[in-house]
Structure 1
Amino acid sequence: MLAYAARRLLLSAGLVWVVASLVFLVIHLIPGDPAELLLSQGGIAPDPAAVDELRHRLGLNLPLWEQYASYMGALLRGDFGLSLLDEHPIADEIALRLPRTLELIIAAALISLAFGMPLGVAAALQAGGLLDRLLSGAAALALSIPVFVVGTLAVLVLAQELKLVSAGGYVPFARDPGRHIVLLLMPAGTIAVGLGAVVFRVMRSSVLEVLERDHVRAAQARGLSAAGIIRRHVVRNALTPVVTVVALHLGTLLGGTVLVEFVFNWPGLSGYLVRAVEARDYPEVMGIVLVISTLFVLLNFVVDLLYAVIDPRVRHA
């Protein structure tokens, strides 16, 4: 197990280096002079002296290889540079906002798994029956509704009409734990609607496939109880595709919660990325994209370890 984990960790480290290099190259391949674009206001050409000064401050006057070496050295120190807008350390802003986005995504994943997995198993055990058709229809409906529509309807019904919760906002957990959880539930639930439908469909299909395997039929022939077979022989073997799908969606959600954070006024990392792109703050964009990409790589590393725990055969593949 340790050897397998070490191999996957080395591969993940290599992928992070490749991602960091690609982010650097893509930003520098964008047409136009970043310093000139940043100083341009209302289509008026900026002062050449100011452009030269900004290029010098950003290190854009250095050869590309020197810029790359400086960039990689700063990353190894955990330094993402300063924002061009207010010269605030980018690492501090990411450290403030990233936990909020992670909290939102993890809460949505837990809600999705709590509902999607048992409902998927129940539908598979009654495949073709009334319960299966109802649950499958509800999942198809959930997948067809865009997340911003779900969020808007949640605000309209739960907040404005029924007045059960606030329309949105953010309160630190340390300040008011109860209100923090209440404000978290609606955006997390909004994300969980679509993700839970995906978990349901994958779990249903996976359970149906596992039920046809020989070891399950052998367990049935030995007279084991149906509950024991489902718990010990079916569910565990059906988890691998669910883990894969959830992990891929979590990685996508790291940078894709923009609409949810906007609707519920949740100050996470995705909204910060949008602001940085609109302001053409290239150091901020590079830092945020790199953090999101690195987390995606680390998430895949964790999934590989989970595979090895769920199915020991993976360790020797």
Structure 2
Amino acid sequence: MLAFALRRTGIALVLVWLVATLVFLVIHLIPGDPAELLLSQGGVAPDPAAVAELRERLGLDLPLIQQYFTYWVGLLHGNFGTSLQDDHPVAAEIALRLPRTLELIGGAAVLALAIGMPFGTAAALRVGGRLDRVASVIAGVALSVPVFVVGTLAILIFAQKLGWVSAGGYVPLAQNPGRHLALLLMPAGTIAVGLAAVVFRVTRSSVLEVLGRDHVRAAQARGVGPRLIILRHVLRNALSPVLTVVALHLGALLGGTVLVEYVFNWPGLSGYLVRSVEARDYPEVLGIVLAISILFVFLNLVVDLAYAALDPRVRHA
């Protein structure tokens, strides 16, 4: 297990290096002068003096290899650059907003697993039955409805009609834990709707596949109880693909919660990215993209290690 973990960690570090290098090269692959593009407004050519000043400020006037070295020195010291709008360190803003987005996605994952896995397992155990048919139809509908529609309907029903929760906003956990969790519930639930449908489908198909394996049939032939078979022989083997799919979706959600954060006024990283793009704040955009990419690689590393812990065969693959 240790050798597998070290090997996967090494691959993850190489991926981080590749991603960071790609993010660095993006600014140099854009046609034209990046500083001039940043300062252009309404098609009007910017002042050459302002362009020269911005190029010097961003270090674009240095040789490419020196820029790359300076870039990596900054990253290794946790420096993601400085905002062009207010001279605020990008790393500080990411550190403030990223936990909020992770909390939103983590809450959605917990809800999705709590809903999708039990219903997926029950549907597989009663394949073709009423529960299986009804749950499959609901999952299909949940997958087809856009997330902003789910969020709007949630606000209309639970906030405006029933008055159970507020329509949106944010309160720090330390300031008011109850209020914080209440405000978290609807946006996390909105994201969880589609993710729960995915978990349901993957769990159902995975459990059905495991139920047909020889070791499960052998346990049934030995008279092992159904509950013990499900817990010990079926769910453990069926959990690996579920974890993989959830992790891949969570990675995608890191950059895809824009609409949810906007609808519910949740001050996370995705909303920060939108603001940075609108303001053409190059250091902020690249810093956010890099942070999201690194987290995506880290999530996949965690899933690989969890996969190996659940299935020893993976360690020797």
> Could you state the TM-score of these two structures normalised by the residue count of structure 1?
0.98
Q: Note if 1:201 corresponds to 2:201.
A: yes
Which shows bigger deviation, 187-196 or 279-288? 279-288
Show CA shifts across 1:27-67 (max 9, x none).
22112222222223333322211211111111111111111
Q: Which residue number in structure 2 is paired with residue 301 of structure 1?
A: 301
Backbone CA RMSD of aligned residues: 0.9
Q: Which residue number in structure 2 is paired with residue 254 of structure 1?
A: 254
Give the Cα separation in 2 of the matches to 1:238 and 1:105. Answer: 23
* Matched ranges for 1:73-88 at <5 A: 73-88=73-88
Give the Cα separation in 2 of the matches to 1:18 and 1:35. Answer: 25
Amino acid at match of 1:195: L
Amino acid at match of 1:101: T
Consecutive unaligned residues of structure 2, counting only runs of 5 or more, are none
Consecutive unaligned residues of structure 1, counting only runs of 5 or more, are none
> Could you state the TM-score of these two structures normalised by the residue count of structure 2?
0.98
Q: Which residue number in structure 2 is paired with residue 158 of structure 1?
A: 158
Give the Cα separation in 2 of the matches to 1:38 and 1:235. Answer: 53
Percent identity over the alignment? 75
Q: Which residue number in structure 2 is paired with residue 137 of structure 1?
A: 137
* Matched ranges for 1:244-283 at <5 A: 244-283=244-283
Give the Cα separation in 2 of the matches to 1:277 and 1:32. Answer: 18
Give the Cα separation in 2 of the matches to 1:264 and 1:249. Answer: 21
Q: Note if 1:288 corresponds to 2:288.
A: yes
1:169 aligns to what SS in structure 2?
coil
Give the Cα separation in 2 of the matches to 1:193 and 1:65. Answer: 47
Amino acid at match of 2:205: S
Q: Which residue number in structure 2 is paired with residue 104 of structure 1?
A: 104
Amino acid at match of 1:196: A
* Matched ranges for 1:8-157 at <5 A: 8-157=8-157
Question: Is the 2:38–2:282 Cα contact (8 Å) retained in structure 1?
Answer: no
Give the Cα separation in 1 of the matches to 2:23 and 2:249. Answer: 22
Question: Is the 2:27–2:34 Cα contact (8 Å) retained in structure 1?
Answer: no
Which shows bigger deviation, 61-70 or 43-52? 43-52
Give the Cα separation in 2 of the matches to 1:284 and 1:80. Answer: 8
1:256 aligns to what SS in structure 2?
coil
Give the Cα separation in 2 of the matches to 1:56 and 1:227. Answer: 68
Q: Which residue number in structure 1 is paired with residue 243 of structure 2?
A: 243
Give the Cα separation in 2 of the matches to 1:244 and 1:12. Answer: 16
Q: Which residue number in structure 2 is paired with residue 226 of structure 1?
A: 226
Amino acid at match of 1:184: L
Question: Is the 2:143–2:197 Cα contact (8 Å) retained in structure 1?
Answer: yes
Q: Note if 1:168 corresponds to 2:163.
A: no
Structure 1 consecutive aligned stretches of length 4 or more whose deviation exceeds 3 Å: none
Amino acid at match of 2:120: G
Give the Cα separation in 2 of the matches to 1:170 and 1:105. Answer: 15
Deviation of 1:287 after TM superposition, in Å, equals: 0.7
Show CA shifts across 1:204-233 (max 9, x none).
000001110000000000011111111111
1:168 aligns to what SS in structure 2?
coil
Give the Cα separation in 1 of the matches to 2:247 and 2:27. Answer: 27
Amino acid at match of 2:18: V
1:95 aligns to what SS in structure 2?
helix
Deviation of 1:162 after TM superposition, in Å, equals: 0.9
Give the Cα separation in 2 of the matches to 1:9 and 1:205. Answer: 30
Give the Cα separation in 1 of the matches to 2:6 and 2:82. Answer: 34
